[in-house]
Every structure is written in C-alpha cells, then in structure tokens.
Structure 1
C-alpha cells in the first residue's frame, strides 16, 4: 500500500532515509578513537575549532597530502591532520564556504584588470585554452582540482581528440605546456583570492630543445636584399623593411607597427613598441647607428604625406593602416636568390 502525500509529509526528519555519507569517527587498530579524525565516503577529514566572527565553531576540513591528493591510509591521514593543525596555529586555514567551480572562476579571471592588460593575441590564446580546460574541469571546484585531473587533460592533448566540439590533432610537449601555463595562471589568481592555500603539483613536460637556425652571412644578406628589390611590385618597401630589421633589431610585427611619430630624426632615435604591443609590453628606444640613420632619412625623404606608418599597407586605399606581413615577399625573394 502506498503512502499518501500527507503521510509522507508528516514523517519526521529522523524517520526519513538519509542517503548522504555520514562522518564516522576514525579508530586505530586497537579500536581507540583518534581525536579529531573522521572519515566519510572513504575520505579523511580533521575536525578543528576555529574562530568565526568571534565565535568558536567546529569545522571539518578534508585532508590532503603534500602532492594535494587525498591520504590513502591512516598513517598519511594522521600526518595530514598534523599539517592542518599547524596551519590553524599559523592562521593559514582556507576560507569557509563553497569555492567557485572552474567554469565560473575562469570567467572571473579573464575579467580581472591585470589580465585585460595582456596583449590581444595573448588574451585570444588564453580564452581558447580556458575553453578546453573548462570543458574538462567545468563543474570541479577550484580547491578540488588535483594532479590526476590535470595529467588526464594533458595526456588527451598529447594524444589528440575532440575539445569543445572540435577535433584537434596531437600536439607537441611545448603546446601542452602552454595550456598548463594558462591553468597555472588561473589557479594562482584563485590562490591570491583566498580560495585555497596551495597549488596542485603541475609538472611540465620536457621539451625538445629548439633547433638553432643558421644565420645569414653578410654576403647572403646582400644577395637577399638584391632579390627583394625585384621580387614583387612592393619590392622597394620590402627592401626597406629587411634593412630596418637588420639595422634596428626589431621583431617583424613590431617593425610593421612603428609610426613616423615614433622616429626622432633630430635626436637620432626610434621608439619600438610605443603602442604597448611589444612582446614584453614595454617600449624601448634605439639610438641610430650609421646604417639605421641613413635608411630612415632616405625613407623619410620619399614617404607618402598622407600616411603615418613607416611601412604602410600596399592595399590601404583611402585608409591609413600599416602592412600586415611581408611573408609572401620573403618567399619570393628567397626563391629568386636560390
């Protein structure tokens, strides 16, 4: 016979079945109770008296080993409990309450002012990496992210698979390490926000050393410059660009974003990265050498009056914008040289 709804509602809380795991006091091999140690669903906890708003309150803390994994036996649990008691003495216990899940906190991380100051490309790559991590760790709370979860994700990246609905081929150790760096950034921010006290162990993969590229000799560089002049209709501009890179030491993308306002012909210096988009986010000033000074004066004498850039885009039309790349011209010049 089924109970009516009114009968079910009248059951006291003690009569209702309790399906949640209960805290059970831990006992040693001689059946003696170990003070403060409890176990629930196979996991060890320690009960400590803490000050919460001027009132002493008992609170149970889940125990973790030094590698941020749960203790596997009573000996490890007792050691972890002593560490937690020492944390209480040094006022290092984590804050009370549920911590945010990773999917929510990664959005909080991306909204932080110090993160927003990163370069546009860096932010774009971090968002892609965090979308993959959020798919893997989405419902896990930030203080429960442990080493095995991290390793499982990195192994998937190395093997290749479907991430955020898209198949990605196997990656190198370096690419997997870049994803790990992004996760470490988020967890460091959560650490600063007081959500936990120690990062899980995150060991990067060993990377193969970057192969050294042979540098061009002065003779080879001169041959490349000769090829650059006639490689395309933008040969003269590409010729200037190669010389500017060689004489200034600027990176490819940095050189393309330099304005004439960044060039001081009178004081003989040029500022690289004045737009704040340099690799390290800091501008640097280069003093003219004989070659760089001669080149910039030559370019200044024949520059377009309606363009603010050292290397304007050949397809800019009425727009004032810089060239995006000279890669195609470089390939043509190298082909002509060979």
Structure 2
C-alpha cells in the first residue's frame, strides 16, 4: 500500500488508513509524511473532524479568536490520546468546552515575563484605568515574580510554583502582609490573561491570604512631634548622615520645610503624599477652610474640606510668611529650577531626624493621628464615631 498521502478530487487529504490507533514507526525511522491523514475507526471508516500526523491525533474544529472574535478552522492536538476512541472522546470534550466558552488557548501562550510587559503597556496607553503610583507599585512587585517564573508560560503556572515563591520570600524575612500584596498584584496580571483568553481558570483561585498580626503602635504625642521637629534643626548631620563624634555637623538643609510638613499633617490629618501636593490656592482664608485632594489624586479620588482649628490656622499663617514667591506649592522642591514643582518626598529627612531624636519607628502616617477635632461634639458618641471613621481611612479618608 502506498504510504504517501494524496489529495482526492474533493480536496480531502487521504493516505494509509489508520485503524483504531496511530501508526507506529520503527525506532530510528523517519516519519513517513508530515501531512495530515484522516483517522479511521475499526471498520476503516473515516472519522469526521479527526486527523493523524506523526502518530498524534488532531481535532479539526472551528475556534473563535480570543482577541478579535473571528472564527477560524484549526487542528488542535489531542494530548495523550493513543486510540481513535480516546481521540473521539477528547474531541467531543473540546466541543463542549467551546460551547461553554471554556476552551483553552490554542495558540502558544506567552511567558509570564512577556505577558507582564504587555500588561503594563496596556496601562501605559489607558491612563485612566489605574493611577501612576499604583502602576509603579505593581511593577516593583511583578519584577520579583518575573525573576521567579518569568520563563514559565502562562498556562503552565500552577499552585506549586506560586507556593515556592511565597516560601522563598518568607524565608528571606518578608512579612505575611507584604506577601498578600504580592499575590494581589500577581492576580491582577493573571486576571488580564484570563480576559485575553490565555487562561481558563486562575491558578490563584481558592488561595487564602496569609495570616498577619497587626502590631499595636504607641500613640504619637505632641511632645514627640516637637522633639522630631527640633531634631531637624540640630547641628547633628553631615553629608546626608548623622555626624560622627568630632565632625562638624549642620542642621538639615530642608529643616524648616520638614518641620512645617510634619506639623501640617498633625494639625489637619492629611496623608503623606496628598500633603506634598497641597497648593496655596487650596487655602480659603475667608471661609477658614483647607481643601485636601483638590487635584483629584487623594485616596478614593475624593476631595475633603477641613475647617480651621486654632493650631492649623496659626500654622498656615506662619507658613505663609515663608511662602516661596515663585511657587504655587506649599512645599516646593528645592531643586525645581525654572520649573515649578512640589517636593517629591521628605523620607530621607525623616530617617535622619527620627534617628537623632531616638524615635526610630516613627513614620509620617502616625503624625495625622495627632489631629484631634476642636468642636464641642467630639466627646459625644456620634462625634467620636464620626472622627474614628475619618481617621481610620475608610472611603474618602
């Protein structure tokens, strides 16, 4: 019997009959042909939609493209099917998955590293989907995931690989809360892959967050606040570090701006980054109010108005006497040059000042907890509930 496949008048590829199983080839022999041949049952009848090539079964089915939605006829390999009966069963399963829109991607899935790049390229174009700060945080986390499984294709990522990443990170001393944030960013990428049709189910499905213990932190008092601000003016610093014994120290270069920044957070309850973005136009001297988040970049994108209390008004008027005449920002950058821009961070100044003040665990966020409302309703149950909601960071705060 001629083993070479031929094309019939109807255009159908024909060749040696495949009875019940894929034809075996001897060891060391080359494949007879690279063309597809019709698979046949035990009675030598061709099986519709089933083909064989190089001892492997393929199902010929119409598959919609996950991106464009257009349908095309493709031959899908049927995995480990060794007999015609097994191949028919696998082909029918594919058809059911197609009807239920659960068909696995037929194209070769990209590696996690390549797809992560596509993920961030998308958000670089769709700028209103996520904030730039959120994207930067996700990039830092995804880089760690890419180092661990960047070479692995999306459809090959499983729970074992995920758990090994968590185990490696926790062995390095990373906290459970940080690992939970790592999983959230990782899941965001996988959800996009699910929408693009590369996955039929998330490998993180059913994962529970790691248990975390919230440490109780001591309240920051006004005395602590004053000590931190005084430390910024001490001649205790040299070349962006604490001066050693015998060295001539100097105050922080931005000591006044740092002290104003810390006190403002304490007197109005604003957050670290939204305080940096405050402008003098956000101060309404007539209504005695300060608007936080007027740029729409505050948490939950909601602006809020703070009525002046005695300390806040005194502090703002004191700051106004030192206002930079060429800047609209409350905390203009010392390196802005001709371009008016706010300071990016006071973190380095905080690390130096809190070390000099012997308060190594003091952070910016705890400054806003000093803020206490100056109204008569604060001691009432309704007032206390309102301000507890305000300070704990619920929606809008």
Task: Choose which of 85, 104, 112 in structure 1 pairs with 2:114.
Answer: 104
Distance 1:128 1:237 in 2: 30
1:171-191 deviations in Å (ceiling 9; x for gaps): 222233332222211111111
| Partner in structure 2 of residue 261 of structure 1 | 281
| Partner in structure 2 of residue 40 of structure 1 | none
- Map residues 297-316 of structure 1 onto 2, 5 A cutoff: 297-312=317-332, 315-316=334-335
Task: Choose which of 185, 189, 193 in structure 2 pairs with 1:186.
Answer: 189
Deviation of 1:332 (Å): 4.3
- The answer on whether the counterparts of 2:292 and 2:305 sit within 8 Å (CA) in structure 1 is yes
1:58/1:284 CA distance change after superposition, 3 Å: same
| Partner in structure 2 of residue 133 of structure 1 | 145
1:146-175 deviations in Å (ceiling 9; x for gaps): 21122222222222xxxxxxxxx4422223
1:30-83 deviations in Å (ceiling 9; x for gaps): xxxxxx9xxxxxxxx9968545677776645669xxxxxxxxxxxxxx9x9998
**What TM-score, normalized to structure 1?**
0.63
Distance 2:177 2:58 in 1: 40
After superposition, the CA RMSD in angstroms is 4.1
- The answer on whether the counterparts of 2:290 and 2:308 sit within 8 Å (CA) in structure 1 is no
Deviation of 1:105 (Å): 0.8
| Partner in structure 1 of residue 102 of structure 2 | 92
**What TM-score, normalized to structure 2?**
0.55
- Map residues 264-283 of structure 1 onto 2, 5 A cutoff: 264-274=284-294, 277-278=297-298, 280=299, 282-283=301-302
| Partner in structure 1 of residue 370 of structure 2 | none
1:239/1:105 CA distance change after superposition, 3 Å: closer
Between the two proteins, the alignment pairs up a number of residues equal to 270
1:285 aligns with 2:298: no
More displaced stretch, 326-335 vs 204-213: 326-335
Deviation of 1:226 (Å): 4.4
Distance 2:179 2:91 in 1: 35
1:258/1:93 CA distance change after superposition, 3 Å: same
What's the secondary structure of 1:305's corresponding residue? coil
What's the secondary structure of 1:213's corresponding residue? coil
| Partner in structure 1 of residue 123 of structure 2 | 113
Distance 1:55 1:254 in 2: 52
| Partner in structure 2 of residue 155 of structure 1 | 167
| Partner in structure 1 of residue 388 of structure 2 | none
Deviation of 1:136 (Å): 2.9
Task: Choose which of 322, 325, 329 in structure 1 pairs with 2:343.
Answer: 322
Larger Cα-atom Rg = 2
Distance 1:154 1:89 in 2: 37
1:112/1:312 CA distance change after superposition, 3 Å: same
Deviation of 1:334 (Å): 6.1
| Partner in structure 2 of residue 295 of structure 1 | 315
1:82/1:17 CA distance change after superposition, 3 Å: closer
What's the secondary structure of 1:208's corresponding residue? coil
Deviation of 1:294 (Å): 4.1
Distance 1:86 1:214 in 2: 60
Unaligned runs of 5+ in 2: 1-24, 33-38, 40-48, 50-56, 65-69, 81-88, 234-250, 360-397
Unaligned runs of 5+ in 1: 1-13, 19-24, 26-35, 37-44, 64-77, 160-168
Deviation of 1:210 (Å): 1.7
